[in-house]
Structures are given as structure tokens and as C-alpha cells.
Amino acid sequence: MKIFVTGAGGFIGGSIAAHLVRAGHTVRGLVRRPEQFADLEKLGIVPVAGDLDDRDLLMAEARAADAVINAASSDHRGAVEALLDALEGSGKVFLHTSGSSIVGDASGGEPSDRVYREDALPEPTADKAPRVAIDNLVLAGAARGIRSAVLCNTLIYGEGAVPGAASVQLPRLVRQAQKSGVMRHVGRGANIWSNVHIDDVAELYRLALEKTPAGTFYFVESGEAAFNEMSAALAAAMKLPAPQDWPLDDAIGEWGYEMASYGLGSNSRVRGERARTLLGWQPQRTSVTKWIRDGMHAAHTAHAAQK
């Protein structure tokens, strides 16, 4: 297939694009920064210079492709509208990337026993209503002759395909600890997030391209962990003292309201059954703390060996 991927210079988009190339597909990837072109070309991805505000470019690439994956932004409505308009009536696959902070409760690091499933989504908070509206717009593409689907990723961990591209949540904990010498989590860090390895994410997108029914919403997860468990594993891997609780206001000062309140300070517990039952997805990694212990140790060992 000829596939157009937005966000190909990023952690999620680049990893998906590289995985699809390895699976035999031809991939053109939207990239904002020309300095990334060489890295993408090494992965077999054809770079397309541009951004999500270039409606004409997005529509032209979508019409020329057999399928489209939007992995650049969950919140750019104009880009989604352009891609849907270009694909209308084509019967092509359009996979849109969302994020499970749509069910986040902004608990300030306190736990919750609420677990959400794909057929029973809650009303979003005011902060997340615009993202959910975009998800619904994509799903409504099924009525416009598009095989559209929303893949709602949880906390993603692992090593991405594009050099320098990092995931969202854990690297922020790491960078703060590197800067301050103290590993911290929001509040007590008892809040829980579902999570998934980037390699399993990329394989799910490949399966969805082949098999997804139109108008389907998927949660993408293969385990869950509390932030104080993840921060403790990170601290141990970095040879730092045990992590400290951090008041929400202080965390907002470091990470901003959105990231501190939702990305790092909320509960986002979901179950993704459709990927397994409809697509035959079988994730290979189910423990983020094991990955931190094994992967971070290996990374630090390699770094020390290079000095």
C-alpha cells in the first residue's frame, strides 16, 4: 500500500512509518523539520516537507495515498477536516491518533478505581471536550465513505525509530530528575495509567490498516501502573534516591497545566478489547516497570561504555 503518515518525524508517527516500511509498504511522511529528512530516508520513509496547517498539501497527499494515518496531533481539527474532505467517498482507511487523557480525571496524583471500556466512554471534561469532538468527527467519516478509525493510545514507552524523538510522559519525569537530582511525581503518585510499548502500538496500526471496520474506536493498552511505581523504577535505574511527592502547583510550574494535571497527575485506566477481538492484536510487552528496569539499565550501561 501507499501510505501517508503525518508526524513522521515524531516518536509515534516515525515508529509507525518505519514499521510499515519494514512490512513492505511505501510510506510518505509529513515532516516539519528538514534536518530530519536524512534520518527518515535511512528508515525508508519518503519525507514530505510541510505542516498540519497546509490544507492543500494534506489533501493532495491523502488523495494520492491508499491509506492515511494522522499521528502528528490529536488536537488539530483543521488537519483532520482536510484529510476527511480529501478521502470522502474513497473507501480508503484513515487512522486518527487520540490519547487516553480523554478519560483523565485530573486527580492530583490520587488513585481511582474507575476503568473505562470502548463501548462506555464518559462525558469528557471541559479540557478534553475539543479532542473528543475531533475523535467523533473521525468516526463519523464512516458515513462519508471512509474506513475511519480512532486509535486512542495510553502511556507509551519504549525506544522510537526516529533519532531524538521521545515519548511524552516518562521522559518528562526523567528530564526533571536529571535537572534537579530528585525524581518526583505529581502528588502522592498513586494515580494509575494504562500503558503500551511503542513496538506493539506500531503493529496495531499495521493490523488496523488491513482489517479495521469503519467507524471503530480502539483503546490501545497492554497493562497499567501507578506513577509512583514508574517513578520508583526510574529512580532506581538512574541511581537516584527514592522519588518524592510533589504538590500539583509545583508540578504545574515545571510541566504546565495540561501535562501536570492530565498527562502526569490523572488516572487513565482503560481496557482495549476491540484490538484483540477485531484485529487479532497480541501485544508482546505488558510491564512498563520491567521495561524501565531492563531498558534503562541497558541504556545507562551502553552510555557508560561509550565514555
Of all helices (H) and strands (E), which one includes residue 78? helix 77-87
How confident is the model over 156-172, as a mean pLDDT? 95
Report whether pLDDT(302) > 50.
no
Report whether pLDDT(285) > 70.
yes
How confident is the model over 101-121, as a mean pLDDT? 97
Q: pLDDT by residue (tens digit) across 222-265?
A: 999 999 999 999 999 999 999 999 999 999 999 999 999 999 99
pLDDT of the residue at 296: 63
What percentage of residues in the chain have a pLDDT greater than 70?
A: 96
What percentage of residues in the chain have a pLDDT greater than 90?
A: 95
Go through 86-111 and write b for each residue having 16 or more CB atoms within 10 A of its CB, e for each that does not.
Answer: bbeebebbbbbbbbbbbbbbbbbbeb
* pTM > 0.85: yes
pLDDT of the residue at 303: 36
Question: How does DSSP assign 127-165, residue by residue?
Answer: TTHHHHHHHHHHHGGGGGT-EEEEEEE-EEES--SSTT-
Dist. CA 118–CA 272, nearest whole Å: 7
Q: pLDDT by residue (tens digit) across 52-108?
A: 999 999 999 999 999 999 999 999 999 999 999 999 999 999 999 999 999 999 999
Mean pLDDT of the chain: 95
Dist. CA 205–CA 202, nearest whole Å: 5
Would you state the torsion angle of the CA atoms of residues 257, 149, 45, 73, taken in this order, to the nearest 10 degrees? -20
How confident is the model over 28-42, as a mean pLDDT? 97
pLDDT of the residue at 62: 98
Do the Cβ atoms of 152 and 103 come closer than 8 Å?
no
Dist. CA 86–CA 67, nearest whole Å: 11
Of all helices (H) and strands (E), which one includes residue 202? helix 198-211
Confidence of residue 304 (pLDDT cuts 50, 70, 90): very low
Report whether pLDDT(298) > 80.
no
pLDDT higher at 295 or 117: 117
How confident is the model over 27-31, as a mean pLDDT? 98
How confident is the model over 163-173, as a mean pLDDT? 94
In the block, residue with C-alpha cell 521522559: 171
Length of the chain: 307
Dist. CA 259–CA 212, nearest whole Å: 31
Query: β-strands 93-99, 147-153: how paired?
Result: parallel
Dist. CA 212–CA 215, nearest whole Å: 9
Query: β-strands 116-117, 270-271: how paired?
Result: parallel
Fold for the domain defined by 2-297 = Rossmann fold (3.40.50)
Report whether pLDDT(306) > 90.
no
* Ramachandran quadrant class, 300 (left: phi over 0; alpha: psi -120 to 50; beta: rest): alpha
pLDDT of the residue at 295: 76
Confidence of residue 129 (pLDDT cuts 50, 70, 90): very high
- Who's near 105: CB < 8 A, 6+ residues apart? 112, 114, 125, 266, 267
Q: Coil, strand, or helix at residue 290? A: helix
- Find how far residue 66's CA is from the centre of its chain: 23
Report whether pLDDT(51) > 60.
yes
